[in-house]
Amino acid sequence: MPIARGGAGEVIPKRAAEAQAIVESYIHRLADPKQFHLSPKEFSMLKAAVFDIYERGNVDVAQWMQVVSHEHLLRFVVEQFPPLDFMNTFGGPMVEEFNKVFRAPSDAMYGHGILASGLIARDEPWSRVLNHLPQLSALNPGIHPLVQARAIGIQLLTPREGNGSDSSWTEAKTLALQGLREDQNIWPRWAHQNCYFAFNLADWAVLSRDREIIEAVSENIQAFRAQQDWYNRSSAIETILSIRQVWNWISLDRNDDALQLMESVEWPIVHSFEVRTLGMWYHAARLVLGLAPKELCEANLRYAVSLTGYSGFGRRIHALVKDHELGQKK
């Protein structure tokens, strides 16, 4: 269950109280699934309020139980506002509640994929990760590419860290390359508006250190950017794609390209539910590329790890930084 805040004697900051009031009003207004509708402006307002609550760790238990009591609201909150930066605190119980209610294959892959990712982020034993690891033997046009990319990415990392067979690695790599090279033929048109498959696979590919997959991710992102709809661009998505492409190029020894792109990245991202995790990658890239003093980058990286509690991601990213620093000195 999410952590209670705002108990007797605790003073809730005005902004936090306002965020809770906004969420409360939407819960009541949207309680009837037949009346569920949000304008873009309303969605942005609700997203900002939820982000503020997440960031403060100011999740009210009574309010959360209201969400849980309405299945359509539970789905909406966990899918649209996934607690990706908060799996070390209230995020895990939120997603576990989702898993109790929604058991369709696509829902199970979504929920358990986030839980598995959170366990890896926290450096939990692989035995715990494997309990949640979604298994794919084929790409499914009926399941969102983001969801499948996360599952395949974790499958790529598993044998790389000594917890899977060579055959499982080969199968995951085959699916990854198929999804990157044939995405236009596999998923419907809506699935290509934000480069979803490469978007969610990129970090896992870099962590797995497979150059062929990293190259394919990079090419997919480049192809998407060459033909994207300029009228529906999201600055947050653009920033995330740029950071991931920077790491693709660092991994492929294209540091000049990485440096040029990194200098254009707008940071931080507003109202992103993974901005703290992305901060690890952002500051680590600046460290590798020499864009800021080493001590400052390392301090920012440690701070991002501390904020999230994601010592597992921090350890793996530190290892990447060390490897690329050594590579530059040769």
pLDDT number for residue 227: 87
Q: Which of 126, 183, 198, 112 is nearest to 157 (CA)?
A: 126
**Rounded to whole angstroms, how far apart are CA atoms 10 and 27?**
24
Q: How confident is the model at residue 164 (pLDDT cuts 50, 70, 90)?
A: confident
Q: Which of 253, 183, 274, 186 is nearest to 221 (CA)?
A: 183
11 pLDDT above the threshold of 60 = no
pLDDT tens digits, 216-225: 999 999 999 9
Instruction: Give the mean pLDDT of 304-317.
Output: 98
Q: Average per-residue pLDDT in the chain? A: 93
Q: What is the pTM of this model?
A: 0.93
Kindly compute the dihedral angle of the four CA atoms of residues 135, 236, 77, 308, in this order, to the nearest 10 degrees: 70
Retrieve residue 117's tokens.
């990712």
pLDDT number for residue 329: 55
pLDDT number for residue 327: 59
Q: Which of 272, 312, 267, 265 is nearest to 120 (CA)?
A: 312
pLDDT tens digits, 240-249: 999 999 999 9
Q: Please state the length of the chain.
A: 330
Q: How confident is the model at residue 261 (pLDDT cuts 50, 70, 90)?
A: very high
Domain residue limits, the chain: 14-78, 231-329
Instruction: Give the mean pLDDT of 187-198.
Output: 89
* Contact predicate 77/64, CB 8 Å: no
276 pLDDT above the threshold of 60 = yes
**Rounded to whole angstroms, how far apart are CA atoms 281 and 243?**
7
Instruction: Give the mean pLDDT of 53-80.
Output: 96
305 pLDDT above the threshold of 90 = yes
pLDDT tens digits, 129-160: 999 988 899 999 999 999 999 999 999 999 99
Say which range, 230-239, 252-261, 306-315, has the weakest mean pLDDT: 230-239
How many Cβ atoms sit within 10 Å of the Cβ of residue 133? Answer: 22
Helix segments in the chain, DSSP class H: 14-29, 40-56, 61-68, 71-80, 91-101, 105-121, 126-132, 145-160, 166-181, 183-186, 196-208, 211-227, 235-251, 255-262, 275-289, 294-308, 311-329
pLDDT number for residue 1: 42
